[in-house]
Amino acid sequence: MATSGGFFDVDNKLKQIETLEATMAEPTFWDDPTNARKIIAEVNGLKSTITSIIDFDKRREDILVLAELITEANETDAAEFLKEISLSSQNMLDELDNIEIQSFLTGPHDTCNAILTVHAGAGGTESCDWADMLLRLYLRWAERRGFQTEIQDLQQGEEAGISRASFRLIGPNAYGYSKAERGVHRLVRISPFDSNKKRHTSFASVDVVAEIEDDIDLKIEDEDLRIDTYRASGSGGQHVNKTDSAVRITHIPTGIVVTCQNERSQHKNKASAMKTLKSRIYEKLIDEKRSEMERFYGDKGEMGWGNQIRSYVFQPYQMVKDLRTGTQTGNIASVMDGDIDMFINSWLRAGCPTSRNKDININD
């Protein structure tokens, strides 16, 4: 009997799980804690990938059994069986949609955690407020999907909002899904900061990188780093505000700067910042090979008109439109509360386009 598991290589994944679990059962498994944690994470990832597929096949087989029973049942029982088949089939259509989306997550780091950074564009208070709104949107989206989040760095705007924020997104396929959000986001609204109630256009960029594991062959020389410590500016108690626990690391050859101030320990902040730095250097190397920065942000990486991947219009009408796929909705409130899976899913189905489709009208 045909199953949906073949496409996802379920049998091979089950064999991998069996092999890894045999390794986990060995007495010396925890002699190398770092490697042990990686194996456990790999097993959990494999199980997460195939569990929904196995459950789907079991439910499909149950429906086939019910269909056979209908031919032998009396009229009353047959009607009940048919009702159950109809309800189960509808639920399975939704599950099949999720399984289909998972099939697109085949990139080398799609299963990894992700690091998201929101930057306010030019425009002062307006853009800082927009960046803050985007940060809330992604935190709410993460909550909806069951991802964990960990704020690494948060820089407040001068009057309102934030100028920049970075956070870890932790969970299965976190990078695979969130990479759809990388690019420039445009907001059009009547400004709450303008006494004349004029419409303003604001820009913010979202950067997404995979959290690269330690086994990636990427050497960072100590002499290429400048490490600064300073007092954390956010909340966190008396200890955080009175000691130089925050860490800023500059990678001199590339100019990449990362900061971390969410931990009270300078050592933990440094370790977290180094992990982020490694991820961003790796992403930059990939970008240089395929010139993705030009495709995402324009020739000079400007956060401005024509480079956006998505527009959020609050007035004079309400619409959010993805300018790579054409996906749109008028339900602004739902989107700003984190309901963005429609944009992510359509982007994955479209083959992960990395630039705005010039045939899509921004103002439609």
Q: What is the pLDDT of residue 340?
A: 97
Judge whether 125 and 157 are in contact, CB under 8 Å. yes
User: Which stretches of the chain drop beneath a pLDDT of 50?
Assistant: 1-3, 5-6, 235-241, 292-301
pLDDT at 60: 82
pLDDT (0 to 100) of residue 219:
76
Above pLDDT 70, what percent of the chain?
87
pLDDT for res 243: 65
Q: Are 81 and 73 in contact (CB under 8 A)?
A: yes
- The pLDDT of residue 294 is 41
Q: What is the pLDDT of residue 295?
A: 43
Residue 179: which of 199, 155, 206, 202 has the closest Cα?
206
